[in-house]
Structure 1
Amino acid sequence: MPDVFDITFFAFAIPAVLFAGISKGGFGSGAAFAATPLLALILEPGAAIGLMLPLLMLMDITALRSYWRGWDRASAFVLIAGAIPGVALGGLLYKVADPDVFRLLIGAIALGFVVWQVARTKGMIPAAGQKMSAPVGRIWGMVAGFTSFISHAGGPPAAVFLLSRDLDKQRFQATTVLVFWAINLMKFLPYAMLGIFTPQSLLADLYLAPFAVIGIWVGVRLHRLVPEQLFFTLTYIFLVITGSKLIFDALG
């Protein structure tokens, strides 16, 4: 983290924070993770995730007000319960594990899920007629907790489960907001204990906080304007972008 925040820092940080806020505010958080790789172009990866977490938590609190009690409680509980061991595992392995293996796996799964959904919509695959079960959802929650811990990339595994639950766009978005409010809250103490936060990162968060709130505000309004079918199409596009970026990062 630089001691002096120059124009280069803000040229990268402001768009990253706005993009994350728009995604979290209106599009299921599927692309919010991209803020971290963008910041990692100018910061060390640990500094990038440390900078983003307080901003993501501010976004969560802001978005919760807009989607209050609109979530699917059962689906949210399944993912949050699964995320607890995932976050704990992330904390244990953060300093020793190579995250590229996990980026590659999650990216491949995200892309595979989109292919499967498109094939099912086109009638190429018969619809199973069943939602993902709670035990399967807890596995996805664990993956979301782990990947969120190491790179704030928990959106794709959470979306894989939620998109199978036949939620309308309002409940899908509200459930996503609630789930990642809980996951990000879980991550705060382990981040602090691992020394991921620094005085410079917290100062940068103060500078960037207004842009986090603006991003949420824009995302919420875009969510209300975008038709449901288009919303889920955009969600699949975000999953493709997210999955492709994870694979690219892993192989690069």
Structure 2
Amino acid sequence: MDLSFYVAAIPAVVLLGLSKGGFSGVGMLATPLVALVISPVEAAAILLPILVVQDMISVIAYRATWDRWNLLVLLAGALPGVFLAYLLAARVSESAVELAVGLISIVFAARRLVIDRRGQGELTAKPNLLIGWLCGAASGFTSMIAHAGTPPFQIFVIPQRLPQNIFVGTSVMFFATVNLLKVLPYFMLGQFSAKNLIVSTTLLPLAVLSTWLGIYIVRRTSSARFITIIYILMVLVGGKLVFNGLSDFAAGGV
């Protein structure tokens, strides 16, 4: 890996750390950033071990603050979602997945921002078992295919207006589990190599520091501001996914 790789990888790892610290969604920019200098498959393979280590830190920090019902419902959907994505890995168009998830994220987040601005932000959506299972399945599927599992999770959980620490803790526990579920399929798909694992190891100190930085910032951000930031991040990440999807289609991707 030359200097250009680390110019892209260092900010990508920092973004992952902020995401694992609580700013859910911003981490989805990491893989596209590294994919500017190496192949997307190799980028995903290098970042996944880093994600697992960052998950361990986040789980320790938020081990006592998560919602059991939401976690169980979402994971019940995520497991078959990851498995289905593994089976269809060679057939599913990543650009189509990114485009669909991006559009849904933008519409959802923009709508919620308008509702909050009109003073209706106190309205709380009642969680639905079937919707939760479907969002969990979509999150597991898109996480496996395109590392874009955050929007489906947020679409289900954010409207419930959980306390900030419960929302972050539930997100941490969910994606820590999903990332572990992805390790075996990624290995079976041949996406790990000794070289990639060595590169991942060199980035681990930065991964640890950036995760603690994310936790520090989140715990000093007010709940109302935090939710607004998450919505804005959803719009930005959704825009990036739409851009990626359209660019792939324009280049002849299917």
TM-score, normalising length: structure 1: 0.94
1:179-223 CA-partner distances (Å, limit 9, x unpaired)? 001100110001001101111110101100111111111000001
Equivalent residue, structure 2, for 1:113: 108
User: 1-side partners of 2:178 and 2:92: how far apart?
Assistant: 20
Deviation of residue 123 (structure 1)? 4.3
Deviation of residue 237 (structure 1)? 1.0
1:170 to 140, 149, 165: 165
Deviation of residue 152 (structure 1)? 1.5
Equivalent residue, structure 2, for 1:92: 87
**1:31 and 1:155 in contact (8 A); partners too:** no
Equivalent residue, structure 2, for 1:192: 187
Q: Percent identity?
A: 38
Equivalent residue, structure 2, for 1:25: 21
1:51 to 21, 46, 51: 46
Q: How big is the alpha-carbon RMSD for the aligned residues of Structure 1 and Structure 2?
A: 1.6
Equivalent residue, structure 2, for 1:209: 204
| 118-127 or 58-67, larger mean C-alpha shift | 118-127
User: 1-side partners of 2:145 and 2:243: how far apart?
Assistant: 16
User: 1-side partners of 2:123 and 2:168: how far apart?
Assistant: 24
Secondary structure, counterpart of 1:179 in structure 2: helix
Structure 2 matches for 1:29-40, cutoff 5 A?
29-40=24-35
2:10 to 8, 14, 25: 14
Secondary structure, counterpart of 2:219 in structure 1: helix
1:132-174 CA-partner distances (Å, limit 9, x unpaired)? 3011011111110011111221111111111022201100000
Secondary structure, counterpart of 1:225 in structure 2: coil
Deviation of residue 122 (structure 1)? 3.9
User: 2-side partners of 1:8 and 1:72: how far apart?
Assistant: 41
Give 4+ residue runs of structure 1 displaced > 6 Å after superposition.
Answer: 124-128
- Counterparts in 2 of 1:30 and 1:126: CA distance versus 1, 3 Å: closer
1:52-108 CA-partner distances (Å, limit 9, x unpaired)? 111111110011111012001111111111101110111011122211111111111
- Alignment length, in residue pairs? 247
1:204 maps to a residue whose letter is: V
User: 1-side partners of 2:121 and 2:172: how far apart?
Assistant: 31
Residues 1:133 and 2:128 aligned together: yes
What residue ranges of structure 2 are gaps of 5+ in the alignment? 248-254
1:88 maps to a residue whose letter is: F
User: 1-side partners of 2:8 and 2:108: how far apart?
Assistant: 31
User: 2-side partners of 1:209 and 1:130: how far apart?
Assistant: 39
User: 1-side partners of 2:231 and 2:222: how far apart?
Assistant: 14
